[in-house]
Amino acid sequence: MKTIDELLSEGVDGKRVFVRADLNVPLADGVITDDGRIRAVLPTVEALAEAGAKVVVASHLGRPKGAQDPAFSLLPAAERLGELLGAPVAFAQDTVGPAAHDAVDGLQPGQVAVIENLRFNPGETSKDDTERGEFADRLAALADVYVGDGFGAVHRKHASVYDLPARLPHYAGYLIATEVGVLKKLTEDVRRPYVVALGGAKVSDKLAVIDELLGKADRLLIGGGMAYTFLKAQGHEIGKSLLQEDQLPAVREYIERAEKTGVELVLPVDTLVSPDFPDLKAKTPVHPTAVAADAMPADQEGLDIGPETRKLYAAKLADAATVFWNGPMGVFEHPDFAEGTKAVAQALVDSDGFTVVGGGDSAAAVRTLGFDESAFGHISTGGGASLEYLEGKTLPGLAALED
C-alpha cells in the first residue's frame, strides 16, 4: 500500500484530503475520558495540514443505528482535536449534506474540518453493496484524495473504510503504517519466547485468536472473566463468576491441544472474590477475599486474578522477547480489582522484550492506571482489528488501501 509519505512527496497543497480517522473515544456525560485515539491520528493530520492540504477528518463514534443522535455526536472529539492541534477545527453537523459541503468549501490550505458521525447515515454500515456505494460516492464528492488512518475500524466492511478508497487515490496514514508494522512483528519472524496474555469478559471474543496462537505462541496466560470458563472446563467450582457454558467444549479442546503441541497454557492459581459485582460509579470499597482457583465458594464471584497469580504471571512474562496483551485481568475500573491488570502492565513495563498492548480495554486500563505510554513498545488503537489480524483474517480496510 502507498503511504502518506508518498502522498506528501507528490504534493497536497490546496488538495482536499479525506482522512478516515478513529475518533471513537469514550464519553461520560459528553466529556472525553480517554483521548488516546485522537492523539494517535495527530501526526497524520498535522503533516497534511503543514503541507497545505485542506484536511477533512471523518470517523464513527459508538453505534447510533443510522440516525442522528446527540449522544453520539463527534463535536467533543472535534473540539479536542482542535485543542491538540492548537488551531481552530471546523465542525459540520451532517456527513454529506449542506453543512459538510459548506465546511469543506470554507477550508483554506492548512485548515482542518471534522464532519459528523459517519454512522448517522445508514449507508456507512449497510450490508447492501449498492447502499454503501451510494454513501461512498457522496463522501468522495468532499475530497480529492483518501488517507486511511482509522485502524480501529479496518476490520469493518463499511463505506468510509472499504468502498471510499476505491473511488479516490488512496494512501495509508502514519498510524495504520505503524500498526501494520507492529502486527507483522507478532506474526512474521517473531522473537521468542513469544508470550500472549489474554483477558476480558468473554472467552467467545478470543476463541479464534486462541485457536491461531496455539500454533504460534510459546506461552498463553489467561485472565479476566474468560478465565472462569477455563477453570470450569477443568472441573472447578466457579461460584457466581462469569461463565459461557456453550464455550466449554471448545475450551476443553484448546486445553488438550495446548498440552499436545507444547504451548504452555497458564491459568489463575488464585482469584479475588466478592459476593456481588462492585459499584463502578461509587467505587465503594468491598474488601474482596483471595481464594485458591480450585476452592471458590459457590456464593462468591471471581473479579480479578489473586496475588499468587499476579506473581506467577509476572514471572511468566519476565523472559519474553515478544509480548502481546489484550484484555484486562479483572474489573480494573474498581480499585479493589485493579491489581491484576496493574501487575500485568507493570510486567510489560519491566520487560526487555518487544511489548504490545492490544487496544480496547487494555489500552484504556494502561492510561487509567497511570502508566507512562512510552514505557510500552506499542499501544494499539484497535483491539478488534488487532485480534482479527492475528487470527489471520483479511481486514477489509487494509485490503482497500492496497494496489
Confirm whether 384 is a catalytic residue. yes
Which amino acid type is present at position 282?
Answer: A
Measured torsion, CA atoms of residues 373, 388, 55, 60, in degrees rounded to the nearest 10: -100
Q: Does the bond joining 297 to the residue before it have cis omega, within 30 degrees of 0? A: no
In terms of Cβ atoms closer than 10 Å to its own Cβ (0-12, 13-18, 19+), residue 189 is exposed
- Using CA atoms, how far apart are residues 39 and 29, in angstroms rounded to an integer? 21
Q: Select which of 150, 360, 382, 383 is catalytic.
A: 360
Cα angle 241, 243, 244; round to 5 = 165
Non-local CB neighbours of 169 within 8 Å, separated by 6+ positions:
7, 144, 145, 146
340, 359, 383, 384: the catalytic one is 384
Helix H or strand E segment including 195:
strand 194-198
In the chain, how long is the greatest CA-to-CA distance? 67
- Which residue in the block uniquely carries the three cell numbers 485490503? 399
- 360 labelled catalytic: yes
Angle between helical axes of 36-50 and 75-85 (0-180°, round to 10): 60
Q: What angle do CA 113, 119, 124 make, to 5 degrees?
A: 100
371, 377, 380, 383: CA torsion to nearest 10: -90
Determine the residue type at 43.
P
Cα 361 from chain centroid (whole Å): 7
Integer Cα distance of 362 and 342 in angstroms: 10
> Which is nearest to 377 in space by CA: 150, 179, 151?
179
Query: Active-site residue among 2, 185, 202, 216?
Result: 202
Length of the chain: 403
Q: How far is CA 140 from CA 56, 92, 99, 135, 137, in A?
A: 11, 16, 15, 9, 5
Is residue 370 annotated as part of the catalytic site, yes or no? no
Whether residue 164 contacts residue 20, with contact meaning beta carbons closer than 8 Å, is answered with yes
Annotated catalytic residue, options 15, 16, 20, 37: 37
- The reply to whether 173 belongs to the active site is no
Catalytically active residues, by annotation: 37, 202, 360, 384
